[in-house]
Chain A
Amino acid sequence: MESNSNPDTPSYEVHRSETGDIRIELKGKYDVRTAPAMRRRLAASLGAPNGGRVVIDLSQVSHLDDFGALLLSDLRQRVEAGGLSFSLDRVPETVGQILSLVHFDDETVCRPLPRKERPNAVVRFGQTVLRHAFNTRYMVSFLGSALLALFSVMVRPRRLRWGDTLIQMEKTGVDALPIVGLIGFLLGLVMAFTSALQLEQFGANIYVASLVALAMVSELGPIMTAIVVAGRSGSAFAAEIGTMRISEEIDALFVMGFHPTLFLAVPRIVACILVVPLLTLFADLFAIAGGLVVGVFMLDLTPHSYIGQTMKTLTLFEVNWGLLKSVVFAALVSWVGCLRGFQARGGAASVGNAATSAVVTAIFLIILFDSVFAVIRSYW
């Protein structure tokens, strides 16, 4: 038995009759703050009733909310699980309102909530195949749409939104200069350090300049720059266009008669194609500068001999080959960024997924196409 003089303090009294019937008088306030603790205490004092009925007298309850209703529901389940009958007695009108609001008499309320079921392996395999098939179809369709839009811009350059293109050139190119320059410089430094350890043994220090220049201009410069652009701008394209997609801005463009690919994707693709080769050249120069620092301060080369060896090694073909790669990588990075943005559906999570997927797919395509370039070069 529990009782208290304050009318709002929750308490209860348990009366047991000789026939085994139990009458519980609830008193006070049963709400979000008091009901969970009272539920445990009531369950403990009720124990395991044997036979008879359990009647809950609510006449002295001053307030009861849905947490209080939950206490009664839990009590009912315990009593009925023991094969006894459960009933409420002298229910105040306000309490009755709450009980009807939460559908207290509806047995479905007591059922556990449905859990998400993970489909079996066969279904998941089928779903994955279908997802990839639809993804591929959309990729092909978007590739066609982007190529047509680019072609229309080449035929009529005035169709290009030059204002947006310049803004994208600034964001993708100018804003990336510090990070691309720093990474290029450090890469040149590391390559020169690593190669110097070996070449120094043969007195071939001067070939450090050749190695840094050749590796950077024809291979690492385009790849490294494209990966930085994929991380900075490709993900931004996907997030920006994805947000526009889920907030119906792209639908608004469409119904106003604009071609969404021409309006949103083409300025970004053109901007990337124009600035990424310049960024690559910038990275190449900084890498050569990094190599020069190692050559001059560690290998006792003169700046003149280092630069002379670099110029002797590099041919116009190597430089053009690197620039051609960077143009292709730029087109891939920007195309994938826009594609993933257009594919976003649903809510905020899909925008995050689009940005992640844009970077991962872009890096995969960069490496894939670099391999293709290597194969072409070997048969040149």
Chain B
Amino acid sequence: MSAEAIIEVDDLVARYGDATILEHVDFSVRRGEIFVIIGASGCGKSTLMRHMIGLDRPWSGTVKIEGVDIHSSGPQFRVALQKIGVLFQNSALFGSMTLAENVALPIAEYSRLPAGLVDQLVRMKLCMVELSGFEAHLPSEISGGMKKRAALARAMALNPEILFLDEPTSGLDPVISAEIDHLIRHINESLGTTMVIVTHDLGSILNIADRAIMLDKGRRGIIAEGDPRQLRENPGHEDVRRFFHREARSESLPR
């Protein structure tokens, strides 16, 4: 593993019941990079992310964040959790709370700042994601793109060292997707936050990713790893070429 690795996934096997989703997955994420997990639907991208953030326990293997096993019990686990923030695919904002309350929740709980300063910090967070003026809105009153940005502000509430983003641009139009990509890149550059992104969005992958891994359903593991622009030029594998050139499998086309 690289010395600058902030996340180390070592020989991970993921199983649900009798179904093996991932087998012997090995990779590391470097500090400060934008790392993208790509692959066809059902190949185990979200499963891999759920294991990386400690929501699911691996069948075997380990996931370490700054050397601490995310699946260990006790205080170590709490420390590891404080280093990560997660943007879920459907935003997962609390529907009964305003955007400001959603963002303030972790800040008020963990930062021990006085209420007035929590308010200021929440306004700053919402400014960062360009949602200034929407503090009092409920999630049901804003668009999908705004929900993603609000959820991003909440995920960044305590400035975690690593942000996990599950399909941050899914269901958004190309302009809003580009805005989200820009925001991700901007936060990465300004705050040095390491980003781990699960996405299908080819535009996003080529625009913002520093490095990518591609998972394959049949092999239940990684089939390609590297700079996505280089992977597009030199795929080295038929499935990788199809993915980057948006080609359908000939056997799946109607005859």
Contacts and interface: CB of A to CB of B under 8 A. Distances in A.
B125 A66 contact: yes
Nearest to A103: B127
Contacts of B112: 36
Contact of B123 (A74, A111, A116): A111
Interface residues of A, number: 31
B123 A113 contact: yes
Nearest to A102: B124
Interface SS of chain A: helix
A102 B189 CA distance: 14
A116 B104 CA distance: 15
A346 B127 contact: no
B121 interface: yes
B113 A36 contact: yes
A100 to B, nearest CB: 9
B95 A347 contact: yes
B73 interface: no
Interface in B190-237: 190-192
Contacts, number: 80
Given A66-B124, A69-B124, A97-B190, A31 B159 contact: yes
Interface in A88-137: 94, 97-98, 101-103, 106, 108-114, 116
Contact of B120 (A31, A110, A346): A110
A346 B140 contact: yes
Contacts of A70: 113, 117, 120-121, 124
B119 A66 contact: no
A349 B246 CA distance: 41
A39 B116 CA distance: 14
B186 interface: yes
Contacts of A97: 189-190
A98 B95 contact: no
9 shortest A-B CB distances, which residue pairs?
Answer: A347-B95, A102-B124, A103-B127, A32-B159, A113-B119, A114-B136, A109-B123, A113-B100, A112-B119
Given A102-B125, A114-B135, 4 more contacts: A66-B125, A97-B189, A101-B127, A109-B120
Interface of B: 95-96, 98, 100, 104, 111-113, 116-117, 119-125, 127-128, 132, 135-136, 139-140, 158-159, 186, 189-192
